[in-house]
Amino acid sequence: MPAYMLKHRGFPGRLPGTDFQFTIRRPNPKGVTPLQARERRSDRRPPDRRADTAFMKALWDHFGDQPFERGNLDAGRLSWLFGREVLPATDPFDPAHYEAELVIDERVARASFPEAFEDGSA
């Protein structure tokens, strides 16, 4: 039986006009892909940086500073932010669980992605 996976209604599924995925449609039958911090290098391609910024903006617009369940958020996209802008909200934390609770570190997120917060949300 597949694991339970909360679907975040109203969260964008991808970066418009691209194949950069933000959510998944259904639980992975082979098991939950664990979150792992990925190193973001300064020479990342501009489209990758735009996707990171758009994803951070979507997270902030949807959840703000409140803890949120991983649910159907894409593990690959989350992993680019995990361990810096997005942190575990609970201890212990299971990085391979759809019900894992996360929270945005607003100070780090604003420093890393100032464009994601330019709409006046303070």
pLDDT digits 0-9 by tens, 92-109: 999 999 999 999 999 999
Is residue 120's pLDDT more than 70?
no
In this prediction, residue 88 carries a pLDDT of 98
Start-to-end CA distance of the chain, whole Å, equals 42
Residue 94: Cβ within 10 Å count: 15
Report in angstroms the alpha-carbon separations of 117 from 22, 35, 53, 111.
Answer: 18, 24, 10, 10
In this prediction, residue 3 carries a pLDDT of 65
pLDDT digits 0-9 by tens, 29-75: 888 999 999 999 988 899 999 999 999 999 999 999 999 999 999 99
Query: Counting beta carbons within 10 angstroms of the beta carbon of residue 100, is it exposed (0 to 12), middle (13 to 18) or buried (19 or more)?
Result: buried
Cα–Cα distance, 1 to 97 (Å, whole number) = 14
Is residue 121's pLDDT more than 80?
no
DSSP 7-43: --TTS-SB-TTS--B-B-SS--TT-PPPP------TT
Cα–Cα distance, 75 to 85 (Å, whole number) = 14
